[in-house]
Structure 1
Amino acid sequence: MTHLTLYTTLGCHLCEQLEALLGALHQGEYRLERVEISESDALMARYGVRIPVLMDEAGEELDLGFEAPRLAAWLAKRGWLDEAAWQRLEQGEALEPVRGPAAPDAPRRPAGRRYLA
Structure 2
Amino acid sequence: MIPLTLYTTLGCHLCSQLEGLLGLLCREPVALDRVEISEDQALMARYGVRIPVLADGEGHELDRGFEASRLVAWLAEREWLDEEGWEALRRQWEGEEAPREVRGAQRRGGRRYLG
TM-score by length of 2: 0.83
Asked which structure has the greater RCO (Cα within 8 Å, sep 6+), the reply is 1
Q: Which contiguous aligned blocks of 4+ residues in structure 1 show a shift greater than 4 angstroms?
A: none
Match runs of 1:6-85 below 5 Å: 6-85=6-85
Identity %: 63
Structure 1: gaps spanning 5 or more residues:
105-117
Is this contact kept in 2: 1:5–1:34, CA < 8 A?
yes
Separation of aligned partners in 1, 2:101 and 2:67? 16
SS of residue in 1 equivalent to 2:87: helix
Cα distance change, pair 72–32 in 1 and its aligned pair in 2 (3 A): same
Structure 2: gaps spanning 5 or more residues:
106-113
Q: CA deviation at 1:89?
A: 1.1
CA deviation profile, 1:21-56 (whole Å, cap 9, x unmatched): 001111112200000000000000000000000000
TM-score by length of 1: 0.82
Q: CA deviation at 1:95?
A: 3.2
CA deviation profile, 1:87-115 (whole Å, cap 9, x unmatched): 11112243321235xx94xxxxxxxxxxx
